[in-house]
Amino acid sequence: MSTQFKQIAGDTYWVGKIDNRQVPFHRLILAKGTTYNSYLLKTGKPTVIDTVDMEFGREYAECLAGMIDLMDIHYIVINHTEPDHSGGLAALASQALNATIVCTEIAVPELQEMYKLHSRNFLVVKDGDTLDIGGKTLLFKETPYLHTAETMITYCIEDQILFPCDIFSTHVAVENLFSDEAGFDITEDYKGYYAAIIHPHRRYVRTLLEAVKDMDIRMIAPSHGFLIREDIPKFIDLYATMSRETTQGKKAVIVYTTIKNSTKKMAKIIQDCLQENNIGTEVWDADKSSTADILNSIASADAVFIGSSTKYADMIGNLEDVLKELQHMNLEGKLAASFGSYGWSGEAIEVIQDYLNGTNMTVQSTSEVIKTTGMTHVEFPVRVRFSPKEPEKVQKIKNAAEFVSDLLLSSI
Ligand code: FEO
């Protein structure tokens, strides 16, 4: 079925593609298909909000051309650059030659590279900015990591319509646009979408809830599945409930050896971050503690961070005794991560990672983080060159500790 359009309020139109194939998506198969929802606001300065999947870009542009002279489009708002949202931009922008592309700063180079738009006009918007689109006003709120760094949401102040891109979506290929016309309760589909796409980023749901708490929302018009105009507080509250941390009483153990205190400082940053997230901590300098005490502590931990400075391409001090013993313990269900400061290559950190991989703990790695969440700002092992005093180094360590905290405190 080709791209369609439908009036959803006053001068606001849904322009979308219903895709009822079981397509692969984020390592899922969308069993019920999905829809790609774009919106046209026929205001004094006609504005398009998001597009459709790149596979359907040409038919999407043709559909829009049946609704409006594409040369009259003033703005194209891109809330999120993933190609199921921005994919129609190449076909649209090549005909909507007067349109300015509106997005966050991070999104600009991504869109320029993806669609060869280096010569186009971009308008960068920041959190809280507004834009007059000719009789209506759009308000933009940045929602980073929901679920990628450049993401924002758009709210039409006069119409009280929220365009939250992936957020508040469902993956269901349906003819009836609105959830209240579905003929069934969409709650399970809504929760399933949240669990698959949003939950790995639940830390950032708090930012979202803060952003929308003072908005009077009459309609939620997301990028996938149903539009919501009834029980809106219930659906927003579900995000609050599902992202809440309910599992308290968790403990993490941090074990390290250090040459000049840089790895010790890393351990302290990890400890502080875990404690801020209500994770209990026990910290051991392996050169000043008995191996038996450390192993007992690890045996009752939920997560283990092990770090060493690197000297002559290896670990230092007594850490290897601990790591060897761990190979013989049943540590199933525990999370593990390695870290360390280094000056040249940081071999010790990789050796620790190898030892951890020899246990039956769930060892954190950058590869797994990317595969399971798409996050690229969280790195394991946590490697820092020299002292962790610069803010970006501290942030890198915190990102890792927060990630482990979130895993420990997940409510679903
Ligand atoms: Fe709907 Fe992030 O893709």
For the chain, helix, strand, coil in percent to 5 are 35, 25, 40
Euclidean distance between CA atoms 380 and 276, whole angstroms: 20
> Is the CB of 171 within 6 Å of ligand 1?
no
Residues in the chain with pLDDT < 50?
none
Indicate which atom in ligand 1 lies nearest the CA of residue 224: 1
Indicate which atom in ligand 1 lies nearest the CA of residue 147: 2
Output the DSSP codes for 187-247. Answer: HHHHHHHIIIIIGGGGGGHHHHHHHHTT---SEE--SSS-BB-SSHHHHHHHHHHHH----
Spell out the domain ranges in the chain. 2-242, 251-409
**Residue 242 CA, ligand 1 centroid: distance in Å:** 19
Burial 289-321 (b: 16+ CB within 10 A, else e): eeeeebbebbeebbbbbbbbbbeeeebbbbbbe
Name the residue among 304, 246, 322, 301 with its Cα closest to residue 278.
Answer: 246
Euclidean distance between CA atoms 5 and 66, whole angstroms: 10
Out of 3.40.50.2300, 3.40.50.360, 1.10.340.70, 3.40.50.300, the CATH code matching 251-409 is 3.40.50.360
* 85-114 pLDDT tens trace: 999 999 999 999 999 999 999 999 999 999
pLDDT at 26: 73
**Residue 402 CA, ligand 1 centroid: distance in Å:** 24
Q: Which residues contact 183 (CB under 8 A, 6 or more apart)?
A: 176
Euclidean distance between CA atoms 357 and 363, whole angstroms: 6
> Is the CB of 166 within 6 Å of ligand 1?
yes
Tokens of 397: 């360590």
295 neighbors 329 (Cβ within 8 angstroms): yes
**Residue 85 CA, ligand 1 centroid: distance in Å:** 7
pLDDT at 411: 67
> Is the CB of 201 within 6 Å of ligand 1?
no
**Residue 288 CA, ligand 1 centroid: distance in Å:** 49
**Residue 166 CA, ligand 1 centroid: distance in Å:** 5
Name the residue among 323, 310, 308 with its Cα closest to residue 257.
Answer: 308
> Is the CB of 147 within 6 Å of ligand 1?
yes
pLDDT at 412: 66
pLDDT at 410: 82
221 neighbors 161 (Cβ within 8 angstroms): yes
CATH topology of domain 2-242: Metallo-beta-lactamase; Chain A (3.60.15)
Indicate which atom in ligand 1 lies nearest the CA of residue 85: 1
Indicate which atom in ligand 1 lies nearest the CA of residue 169: 1
**Residue 146 CA, ligand 1 centroid: distance in Å:** 9
Euclidean distance between CA atoms 382 and 386, whole angstroms: 13
Indicate which atom in ligand 1 lies nearest the CA of residue 148: 2
**Residue 84 CA, ligand 1 centroid: distance in Å:** 6
219-220 and 122-124 strand pairing: unpaired
**Residue 94 CA, ligand 1 centroid: distance in Å:** 23
Indicate which atom in ligand 1 lies nearest the CA of residue 36: 1
Q: Which amino acid residue places its CA nearest to atom 1 of ligand 1? A: 166
> Is the CB of 84 within 6 Å of ligand 1?
yes
